[in-house]
A and B are shown apart, each in its own frame.
Chain A
Amino acid sequence: MASNSPNVNTPFVVLRGVSKNYNNFNALNNVSFEIKEGEIFGYIGPNGAGKTTTMKILVGLLSDFQGEVFIGGYQVPTQKEEIHKLLGYLPQNVAFQEWRTVNHALKTLGKLSGLSDVEVENRIPEILDTLSLDDVRYKKISQLSGGMIQKVGLAQALLHDPKLLILDEPLGGLDPLSRHQFKEIVIKLGKQGTTILFSSHILSDVQDVADRIGIISHGKIKQIGTLNDLKSQVGTQKNVEVRLSYASEKWREFKSIKNVYKVEQTSPGRVLVNFEESADEDQVVNDLVQSIAKLGIRIKGITLLSPSLDEVYLNHVQEGEST
């Protein structure tokens, strides 16, 4: 039983053994994770993995689930009203009543979030300016493009300066400039202490903004950690790419270096050296440099390639499919 006041010693968001079934479909299966105050948590997974269900449980739109959920020390869904004062939410398919203008929609939603008339009047131009939406302030929602509506959706989520921001696929439908702007805002809010849960299946976007990443597949959490943690947990090959200054066959000698098990030319002048997962990266690179010097090969560069988030993600998601 949660107390009526938040406990500052606990993480800001806590999910413990959360499961949710839709008829016979198991959308979430014993999901547990925590998000610390001021942390940006990236939540990734394929379509239908359970990302939106998790978020809808957190914001109180779905209340018939098993397990325990706490936000700021308040229990979901029993202390929903207190929780709703803390959060801003951008749903995946954000929609407004179409007869409203942007200004009117924000005014109503701001007031419903507890802002006074004066606060709403001051905050609307501020937030529209941040999101470059000044031009559409008095336009009807029905006249806006999908991307614009998405941005107005973000505006309503930020309007009351929430402590927790839950963004479900927020970058869908945005142009590259807006995506960049959006990520900048998320990073800035994170620095200001807003706790953010951010879902996407566009991995590079999550990689750019998240402090920690959770991977969900088939309703189960596969892995949680920083990007580096996740990369280190994946049994992906380690590679070094050597860019040669001129065509030479001497690179074949790299095969004799300790812990190197495969050497191949990927394109003219580019050689990929694969080495054992257990090998010390620094030692392999050092041995490689010595071998290059010894063989008298001239090179343009040498790069240690670590697995990308895409590889990490695919590894965990494919694991999920095979189990």
Chain B
Amino acid sequence: MKLSLLYMDELRGFYKSKVMLFLWIGLPIIAVLFRFVQYGTTGQTISFTVVSALVVSSLAGTLASVMLSVSIINEKNRHVYELFLIRPLKRRAIILAKFLSVYTCVAIASFIAVFVGVGIDYLTTGVLSTTVINNLGQSLTISLSLVAIACAAGVLIGVAASSVLVGAILVIYGGNQISVLPLVPTLLNISNAVLCTIGLATLTTTLLLAVAIGLFERKQF
């Protein structure tokens, strides 16, 4: 009940502070621009869908971990959490609400970006490549798994780091690197790579979140 209240509140915050707008419009625009730049420089025609999936997988994780770590460090340093922590509420609800809201926002932005790519491909060519469509599911699974790990890493860094600068450095050094884990099953050509990706992402995300919650529970404010 309280988790859902905080979750809806966080989403509302992203809507009010225009974070949603920048994510949901910004990410597809970057994907489309990237496709034109790529075509202009290499002359190769790669479908919009593939380019969008590439942009999402390279940007969404970073966006998610930066958003989470910066917002947690900032709110922690401004003593915003004190008013929540003195109420009958489990501390983990604050952390989980943050994680779920950023994950939701970035996941929706990823879907929009990829489906804008699919739409443009269909509008410009009138057909959709079967290979592209077949790989779309795998591509989105990898992207969403990557975003989940990046979000959890962002939460952990946000809880542990004391300054925004340190948080940003840790996100670039650690958060980004760990979030490529979901690519491993595909790179190693493991059979059932999609299932392995989901399992690996779930395990890593749970582990990172458990550590973050443990730290937050013990934190002295």
**Interface of A toward B, CB cutoff 8 Å:** 56, 59-64, 81-82, 84-85, 87, 89, 91, 93-97, 99-100, 104, 108-109, 111-114, 153, 156
Per-residue A-contact encoding for B67-100, CB less than 8 Å = 1, 0 else: 0000000010011101111111100000000000
11 inter-chain pairs at a CB distance below 8 angstroms, sorted by A residue, are: A59-B86, A61-B85, A62-B220, A64-B220, A87-B86, A89-B83, A95-B80, A104-B12, A112-B5, A114-B88, A153-B83
CA distance A321 to B83 in the complex (A): 34
Q: Specify the chain B residue showing the minimal Cβ separation from A91.
A: B82
**B1-56 residues at the A interface, CB under 8 angstroms:** 2, 5-6, 9, 12-13, 16-17
Pick the contact of B87: A84, A94, A104 (CB < 8 A): A84
Q: Cβ of A91 and Cβ of B83 under 8 Å apart? A: yes
B221 close to A (CB within 8 Å): yes
> Which residues in B have their C-beta under 8 angstroms from that of A153?
83
CA distance A93 to B2 in the complex (A): 25
Contact between A61 and B82, CB atoms less than 8 A apart: yes
What is the bound-complex CA distance between A258 and B78, given in angstroms?
61
Main secondary structure of the interface of B (DSSP, over half): helix
Min C-beta distance of A95 to chain B, whole Å: 5
**B13 close to A63 (CB less than 8 A):** no
- Whether A91 contacts B220 in the complex (CB less than 8 A), given A84-B86, A112-B87, comes out as no
Contacts of B221 in A (CB 8 A): 56, 61-62
CA A61 to CA B75, docked complex, whole Å: 15
- Give the 5 A-B CB pairs with smallest separation, nearest first: A61-B221, A84-B88, A112-B87, A99-B17, A95-B78
In the complex, what distance in Å separates the CA atom of A108 from the CA atom of B13? 12
Contact assessment for A61 and B220 in the assembled complex, using a CB-CB cutoff below 8 Å = yes
Q: How many residues of B contact A (CB 8 A)?
A: 22
CA distance A94 to B81 in the complex (A): 10
CA distance A104 to B6 in the complex (A): 12
Decide if B88 touches A111 in the complex (CB within 8 Å): no
Q: State whether B87 touches A113 (Cβ < 8 A).
A: yes
Closest to A113 in B: B87
**Contact status B88-A81, CB under 8 Å:** yes
B23 CB to closest chain A CB (Å) equals 15
| Cα distance A60–B82 in the bound complex, in angstroms | 10
Partner among B83, B86, B89 whose Cβ is within 8 Å of the Cβ of A96: B83
| A62 to B2 Cα, complex, angstroms | 23
Q: Out of B16, B79, B84, B85, name the residue touching A93 (CB < 8 Å).
A: B79
Q: Which residues of A contact B82 (CB under 8 A)?
A: 61, 89, 91, 94-95
Q: Which residues of A contact B12 (CB under 8 A)?
A: 104
Q: Please, which residues of chain B bring their CB within 8 A of the CB of A156?
A: 83
Q: Across the interface, do B88 and A100 meet the contact criterion of CB distance under 8 Å? A: no
Can you add 17 more A-B contacts, CB < 8 Å, to A85-B88, A99-B13? A56-B221, A59-B86, A60-B86, A61-B221, A62-B220, A64-B220, A82-B88, A84-B89, A91-B79, A95-B78, A95-B80, A100-B13, A108-B5, A109-B87, A112-B5, A112-B84, A114-B88
- Expressed in whole angstroms, the minimum distance between the Cβ of B221 and any Cβ of chain A is 4
Contacts of B5 in A (CB 8 A): 108, 111-112
Nearest CB in chain A to that of B14: its residue: A99
Residues of A within 8 A of B79 (CB): 91, 93-95
Q: In this complex, what residue of A is CB-closest to B84?
A: A112
